Amino acid sequence: MNRIRATVTGIDRRESLHRVMLTGGDHEFTLITLELGEEYGIGALVEIHFKSAHVSLAKNISGQVSIANRLEATIVSLREGELLAEIVLESSAGRFFALLTAEAVNRMQLVAGDRVTALLKASDLYLSKAGEL
Amino acid sequence: MFLIIETGSQVEIMLVSSLKKKLAGAEGDFLLHTDVEIARGGITAIAGPSGSGKTTFLRMLSGLTTPDEGLLEVDGEVWFRKEPGKKTVVNLKPQQRKVGVVFQGYALFPHMSVLGNMLYASRDMVLAEKLLNMTGLQQLKHVKPGNLSGGQKQRVALSRALMQQPRLLLLDEPLSALDEAMKSVLQDELINVNRELGVTILIVTHDSSEMYKLCDRVLLFDTGRIITDTSPRELFVERATTQKFAFKGEILEILAVDAVSIAVVAIGNNLVEVVIDSDEKETLQAGDIVIVGTKAFNPTVRKIAAKDFDFSRL
């Protein structure tokens, strides 16, 4: 799991459903989850976790996209398989991985050093107390 | 401390007040010290690490182990009472207590039939017939235990315990030796027994799904103390991380496939494959006990057709 350290800045609640706003590095994050423990109050130091397979990458992105979270990042390295490729990225919020299809890497001609935008859906982000999980 | 002597409450069945027993543990002696009130009609899980005093607690309730001191009162009747430094005032024998006990081992009389085992506890033929029907043993009532499956034997043990019309039914890991399908069937029967007969149940179990399915309350023991007293939902769902879908399993193998790694994990009777990130691969290996989880957004739910699934009663 990718981990990004962040601080809770806001919480909206509708019954058991919660939207949590966070800040990590230079980035704002929005996360949607069911029940939220009391320990995740505003100001709590937490980790945002997400699977590499849940990361999408965009290059020269324009137009409107529904995805709530965008992370400006630089490609550090790529490890390409026949079908899938694992990309290591660096952002102001820390280092993380993305798992893309090898076909997408070729189509976008992704190479180390490229500036890209990582896209993360709010419902694909997990929350844990810093150090747990 | 015997502050509460009157227990006129309609809902409460059992009061345990400063019931103490010195126990020898693996890391030295410790004091089992319990204070708890149990409501009538519920199913309460007794959980906690081995050697934490769970079984001794049940044995003190049933009269098989004598506490050092304290008060035990059930349904307004004192079963045990001894104040510190004084003589024991009350200590009812196990057979004087309206309590049924079922342990993991079946402890049935091998030379008696199912019905014979039940009637040994009480000659009440009407109740025996009712229990045989409730637990699906009607067709097997003349069979001897040697010819029964594990699940059937445990049903007989349960029925025999219920023949005494207990106020309390104490179960010490009664289903832990059974396979998952059988366990599930017997869990349903326990719920049925609880509802239909109104008997109050305390069950020692390590199985979180069992606690969740059966119990309205969990008492978590640790070195002789009840450290947590809560609902299964609070314990397993709300206190966990924001992951909603989590199962304990064991990693059998980690395979490298193309640019990813796949962990093969045994969860209960099932094997699942999970694609793991490369940093996770570094920290995991075969034999690790793990939690496989995902958020509530990810699992899919599909209704199964009867032909997909045949968990016929074993």
The CATH number assigned to the domain holding A70 equals: 2.40.50.100
Q: How far apart are the first and last CA of chain A?
A: 10
| Per-residue pLDDT tens over the stretch A85-104 | 999 999 999 999 999 999 99
pLDDT number for residue B208 = 79
DSSP state of A54: G
pLDDT band at A5 (very low <50, low <70, confident <90, very high): very high
Would you call B259 and A123 a contact, using CB atoms and an 8 Å cutoff? no
Judged by CB atoms within 8 Å, which residues 1-20 of A form the interface with B?
1-2
pLDDT number for residue A102 = 96
Domains of chain A: total: 1
Contact list, B238 vs chain A (CB under 8 Å)? 35, 37
Judged by CB atoms within 8 Å, which residues 295-314 of B form the interface with A?
295-297
| Per-residue pLDDT tens over the stretch B169-189 | 999 998 888 887 888 888 998
Whether A103 contacts chain B with CB within 8 A: no
Cα four-point dihedral sign A63, A67, A70, A73: negative
pLDDT number for residue B7 = 39
Domains of chain B: 12-98+166-237 (3.40.50.300), 243-314 (2.40.50.100)
Mean predicted confidence (pLDDT) in B38-55: 91
C-beta separation of B224 from B55 below 8 A: no
pLDDT number for residue B1 = 36
**Token couple for A100:** 């893309």
Whether A48 contacts chain B with CB within 8 A: no
For A13, the domain range is: 2-129
Picking from A86, A101, A124 by the largest number of B CB atoms within 10 A of its own CB, the best residue to mutate is A86
Whether B98 contacts chain A with CB within 8 A: no
Interface pTM, i.e. ipTM: 0.75
Parallel, antiparallel or unpaired: strands A126-129 and B99-102: unpaired
Q: Does the structure show a pLDDT above 60 at B278?
A: yes
**Position of tokens 């990130």?**
B277
The contacts of residue B191 (CB under 8 Å, 6+ apart) are B43, B213, B214
Whether A126 contacts chain B with CB within 8 A: yes
Rounded distance between C-alpha atoms, residue B311 and residue B314, angstroms = 8
Contact list, B295 vs chain A (CB under 8 Å)? 33-34, 123-124, 126
pLDDT number for residue B239 = 56
| Per-residue pLDDT tens over the stretch A61-77 | 999 999 999 999 999 99
* Mean pLDDT computed over every residue of chain A: 92
Task: Name B102's bridge partners.
Answer: B171
3-state helix, strand, coil in chain A (%, to 5): 10, 55, 35
pLDDT number for residue B304 = 66
pLDDT number for residue B3 = 37
Q: Does the structure show a pLDDT above 60 at B68?
A: yes
Would you call B258 and A83 a contact, using CB atoms and an 8 Å cutoff? yes
DSSP state of B145: G
Whether B277 contacts chain A with CB within 8 A: yes
Q: Which amino acid is at B46?
A: I
Whether A76 contacts chain B with CB within 8 A: no
Q: Does the structure show a pLDDT above 60 at B2?
A: no
Q: Does the structure show a pLDDT above 60 at A18?
A: yes
Please state, as a whole number, how many other Cβ atoms lie within 10 Å of the Cβ of residue B294: 15
Rounded distance between C-alpha atoms, residue A32 and residue B291, angstroms = 22
pLDDT number for residue B8 = 41
